Structure 1
C-alpha cells in the first residue's frame, strides 16, 4: 500500500465511525421496560393508577388536598424523625455511606440514593465531614447537605 491509498482508507474509517457515532447519539433512548418501571415505583414508594381512576379520584374530593395539607402544617404529626450522624472521610465512596444510611433507616434504598447522586452529578462533589442527616429528608436534601454547591 502506498501513502495515498493508506490515507484514503484511514479517511474512510474516520467518516464511517463518525456516521455510526452520530446515528447512535441521535437516536432516542430505549423506552424502559415494564419491570424497570415497577422497580422504580417500588423503590420510590409510588403507585401507578389508570388515568380513568385518577380522574375519578380527583373529581370525588376536589377540596380534600388543600385541607389535608393545612391540617398537617398546623398540627404536628405523630411520625418519629431519626437523626443520624454521618461521617464522610476523604476517599469514602458514595456506595459506602449510602449503605450506612440505609442500615440506619434514614433512606429506603442505598442503590436508589446512589443512582440519584450519579444522575445529578453529585458523586464527584461530595465533601468529607460530619453531617446530621434526618429520616424525613429526601435524596435531594441529603445531596445538597453533603455535596458542594
Structure 2
C-alpha cells in the first residue's frame, strides 16, 4: 500500500466512527434509567409473561400446606410397604447376561429386550453407540434387573 491508499483507508475509518458516534449520541433510549417500577406494574408484567406472583404470607402458607401433604403421604406409604416387599422381591428378578466373543451391541440389546430387562433394543443400541459404550463392552456374565437404567446397564457390561 502506498501513502494515498493508507490515507484514504484512515479517512474512511474516521468517517465511519463519526457516523456511528453521531447515531449513538443522538438516539434517545426508549426507557430512561431514572424510571421507577412500582409493585403493580411489575406484578402485571410478570403475570402477562406467565408467572405467578405470591406475597410472602401466601408463599409461607403454600410451603406449610406442601409440607403437611408430604407428611401425610409418608404415613400412607408406610402401611402398604409390607405388602409391596413381596412384589419388590419378584420384580427384582436377576437376569444373567453372558457376553461372548463376537457379539455385537445389537445382539446384546436384543437379548436384553427378549428377557424384559429393557423395553426397546434399538434405543439401547443407540444409547451404547451415542455414549461410546459399544467399543468398551467386556466379555463375561453380568447380573442385570429390569428396573436398571441404560446408563447402569452400560456401566456394568463395560465394567466402567
Task: Return the TM-score normalized by structure 1.
Answer: 0.50
* Partner in structure 1 of residue 107 of structure 2: 96
The answer to whether the Cα contact below 8 Å between 1:88 and 1:127 also exists between their aligned partners in 2 is yes
8 Å Cα contact 1:89/1:128 also seen in 2: yes
| Aligned with 1:132 (options 130, 140, 143) | 143
Higher RCO by CA contacts (8 Å cutoff, separation 6 or greater): 1
Gaps in structure 1 of 5+ consecutive residues: 1-50, 53-58
Q: What is the count of residue pairs matched by the alignment?
A: 90
**Residue 94 (structure 2) pairs with residue 86 (structure 1):** no
Q: Which protein has the bigger helix share?
A: 2
CA RMSD for the aligned pairs?
Answer: 3.1
Cα distance between partner residues in 2 of 1:65 and 1:111: 39
CA distance in 1, matches of 2:70, 2:144: 29
Structure 2 length-normalised TM: 0.47
Q: What 5-or-longer segments of structure 2 have no aligned partner? A: 1-49, 52-61
